Amino acid sequence: MAFELTDANFQETALEREGLTVIDFWAEWCGPCRMISPIVEELAQEYDGKVLVGKVDVDTNPEISMKYGIRSIPTILFLKNGEVVDKHVGATSKQVLANKIESNL
């Protein structure tokens, strides 16, 4: 299960964490976001213990979205030790995201 990231817990959970964090910026009304949601959940299970996979609802967490300049959703950010190392905008396949995870581990 992907971790629910919020404006309140983002600093502690994602930025101060060692290792790789994958963050899905999404919204309930976004069709492409709903398309990749099952993929994000699968990756959260497959990489459990190695990678923190989280989701940020852009409608209820505007601070994080503004901080990272999220203008299109879904946007997937890859953070390593709190720094952005990769980014993917738009719907994509599980394989593309898995390859990005593997290359940043």
What's the rounded Cα separation, in Å, for the pair 105 and 33? 24
Q: Are 57 and 40 in contact (CB under 8 A)?
A: no
| Catalytic residue chosen out of the listed positions 5, 33, 40, 101 | 33
Token couple for 2:
């992907």
The answer to whether residue 30 is catalytic is yes
| Catalytic residue chosen out of the listed positions 14, 23, 30, 79 | 30
What's the rounded Cα separation, in Å, for the pair 20 and 82? 8
The answer to whether residue 33 is catalytic is yes
Active site positions, annotated? 30, 33
